[in-house]
């Protein structure tokens, strides 16, 4: 009987250890908000998305760059950071929950389309977030993501 209780206790301790380690390995979340058209800000946002996973480990952090308003140019055709965005998007597909995601504001796209009659061409690998960037920021805040505005 003592042996059965010891085995049950040991099993419970092992299960608690597995649950704790799974919880401890949940990647941190960082959102980088880019609301302005500034090539220096674009470069800084991409630098953060590139460097933080290298510093903390690719699977230890997930980064989401959210562009809205004039900042949408970062994620649109002709962006000075197109090659780096595409490279980060490809490398993110190889991580276990970390990586970098790019989100374009649907409300901004609708506004530009209404004003100019033409929708901006969003880069491949960029998600369009509905209803818009602010709603996405609120969602990520509820998930415990850290917010940085560039």
The string of pLDDT tens digits covering residues 29-86 is 999 999 999 999 999 999 999 999 889 888 889 999 999 999 999 999 999 999 999 9
Of 116, 141, 139, 119, give the one whose Cα is nearest residue 129.
139
pTM score, whole prediction:
0.81
Q: Provide the token pair at 64.
A: 């989401």
**Residue 9: predicted pLDDT:** 42
- Determine how many CB atoms are found less than 10 A away from the CB of residue 65: 28
Phi, psi of 25 (to 5 degrees): -90, 5
Residue 17 pLDDT greater than 60, yes or no: no
128: preceding bond cis by omega (within 30 degrees): no
Q: Is the dihedral of CA 121, 101, 43, 108 positive or negative?
A: positive
Instruction: Yes or no: say if 108 and 68 are a contact pair by the CB < 8 Å rule.
Output: yes
How sure is the predictor about 105, in pLDDT bands with cuts at 50, 70 and 90?
very high
Find all residues with CB under 8 Å of 135, minimum gap 6, and list them.
129
Which is it for strands 126-129 and 146-149: parallel, antiparallel or unpaired?
A: unpaired
The string of pLDDT tens digits covering residues 116-138 is 999 999 999 899 999 999 999 99
């Amino acid at each position: 009987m003592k042996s059965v209780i010891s085995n049950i206790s040991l099993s419970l301790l092992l299960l608690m250890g597995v649950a704790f380690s799974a919880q401890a390995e949940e990647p941190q979340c960082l959102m980088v908000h880019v609301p302005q058209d500034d090539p220096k800000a674009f470069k800084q946002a991409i630098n953060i998305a590139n460097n933080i996973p290298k510093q903390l480990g690719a699977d230890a952090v997930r980064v989401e760059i959210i562009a809205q308003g004039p900042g949408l140019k970062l994620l649109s055709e002709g962006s000075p950071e197109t090659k780096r965005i595409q490279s980060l998007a490809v490398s993110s597909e190889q991580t276990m929950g970390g990586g970098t995601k790019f989100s374009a504001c649907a409300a901004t796209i609708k506004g530009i389309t209404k004003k100019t009659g033409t929708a901006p061409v969003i880069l491949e690998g960029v998600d369009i977030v509905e209803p818009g960037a602010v709603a996405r920021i609120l969602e990520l805040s509820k998930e415990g993501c850290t917010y940085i505005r560039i």
